[in-house]
Amino acid sequence: MSYDDTDLRLGGQIVRILLEPDAKPPQVKRQYRSLGRLHAELAAHGMKLIEKQSFGPEAGYMLFYRKGNVVVRIKTRGAQGRMRGGQPHLSVILVSGRRSTTDIVGRPTHYGAILTDYANEEGKFSIHGGVVNKQPRGPYYDQQASPDGKSLGEDWADLTHFVFPDSGLDDSIVDQLVPQYTHRL
């Protein structure tokens, strides 16, 4: 693990900037219902779009923005057949900092990109700004979310997946967004 307090502060800051603090369920502020505006806000905080994948229903995408070991993952049309199916949402994630041994086309490399897949997630930032794991493990666990340290189950998902108001995200600029594949992120 190579994350540190800088990553924890950044993740908490991103949550405070993007989310409505009192909304139930937790949701993204209305001003970020435009992907263009959300992209600009993330870029202003040093986050770079590093990956764009086709994902979900209705020709949606999954976008990954990263700075250090903090990743913002946006599902522009939600996830097919799951909780939040068809509902655009985002998560702010703390990743382990482990690096791949290949570049984006599978060639061996000496630098390796930070891995952002599910297996390398240490936890997700909650509405409270702390890191929450599905199970209490590791050095970071949001005691505000689960003071007794018990598994959060689906409550965890509700604390760490932030929907867009009125199930809306204007993603009309998604085809114009070009990921920056670089190890200097």
Instruction: Look at residue 185 in the predicted model and tell me its pLDDT.
Output: 38
**pLDDT tens digits for range 68-120:** 999 999 999 887 766 666 789 999 999 887 767 665 556 665 555 666 666 77
Instruction: Look at residue 183 in the predicted model and tell me its pLDDT.
Output: 43
182 within some domain: no
Instruction: Look at residue 135 in the predicted model and tell me its pLDDT.
Output: 56
- What is the domain count for the chain? 1
Ranges under pLDDT 50 in the chain: 139-141, 143, 147-151, 182-185
Q: Which residues partner with 63 through β-bridges?
A: 52, 74
46 within some domain: yes
Cis peptide before 25 (omega within 30 of 0): yes
183 within some domain: no
Which residues form the domain of 150?
Answer: 5-176
141 within some domain: yes
Distance CA 21, CA 33 (A): 16
36 within some domain: yes
184 within some domain: no
Given CA atoms 79, 94, 29, 50 in this order, what sign does their dihedral have?
negative
Instruction: Look at residue 184 in the predicted model and tell me its pLDDT.
Output: 40
159 within some domain: yes
185 within some domain: no
